[in-house]
């Protein structure tokens, strides 16, 4: 399965549909030390969660994870549309099938606006 095929897939938890996959979240690992190498190394990207929206599988254009408030009408519209959205860590995804995404029964729902401390803990493997 290609990850982009997950966008729009229904998400189910405990037998109840909780929304659709709106986006995928990745962490960039530290750039490996390549002292003396003239090539610029790229950090490895690692999938660490899915963003679930109860309303629409459309992208929020990054407004859900930042303090961007301009242009005002667009920011207001997207914030209203993203109400109730949540992030689920990849470890809490139980199964992916043609029918959608099944979350583990006790999957925790995180805010889509990730604070820096969460991101640091996720990089270190702590949740």
With 50 as the cut, is the pLDDT of residue 9 above it? yes
The string of pLDDT tens digits covering residues 78-118 is: 666 666 889 999 999 999 998 899 999 999 999 887 654 45
Q: Residue 68 — very low, low, confident or very high, per pLDDT cuts 50/70/90?
A: low
With 90 as the cut, is the pLDDT of residue 32 above it? no
- Inter-residue contact 111 to 25 (CB < 8 Å): no
Mean pLDDT highest for which of 1-5, 49-53, 59-63, 92-96? 92-96
Query: DSSP secondary structure string, the chain?
Result: --GGGGTT-EEEETTEEEEEEEEEEEEEPPPPP-TT--SPP-PPEEEEEEEEESS--S--TTGGGS----SHHHHHHHHHHHTT-EEEEGGGEEEEETTEEEE-TTPPPBPSS--HHHHHHHHTT--
Give the pLDDT confidence score for residue 111 in this predicted structure.
82
Percent of the chain scoring above 70 in pLDDT:
58
Q: Residue 10 — very low, low, confident or very high, per pLDDT cuts 50/70/90?
A: very high
Give the pLDDT confidence score for residue 82 in this predicted structure.
66
Q: Per the structure block, which two tokens stand in for 116?
A: 């820096």
Can you give the residue ranges of every domain in the chain?
A: 3-31+40-123
Mean pLDDT highest for which of 26-40, 67-81, 88-102? 88-102
């Amino acid at each position: 399965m290609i990850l982009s095929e997950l966008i729009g897939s229904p998400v189910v938890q405990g037998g109840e549909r909780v929304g659709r996959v709106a986006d995928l979240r990745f962490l960039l690992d530290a750039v490996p030390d390549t002292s003396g190498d003239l090539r610029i190394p790229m950090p490895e990207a690692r999938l660490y969660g899915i963003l679930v929206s109860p309303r629409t599988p459309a992208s929020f254009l990054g407004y859900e994870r930042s303090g961007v408030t301009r242009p005002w009408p667009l920011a207001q519209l997207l914030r209203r549309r993203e109400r109730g959205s949540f992030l689920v860590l990849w470890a809490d995804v139980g199964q992916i099938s043609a029918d959608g995404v099944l979350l583990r029964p006790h999957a925790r729902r995180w805010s889509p606006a990730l604070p820096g401390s969460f991101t640091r803990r996720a990089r270190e493997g702590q949740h």
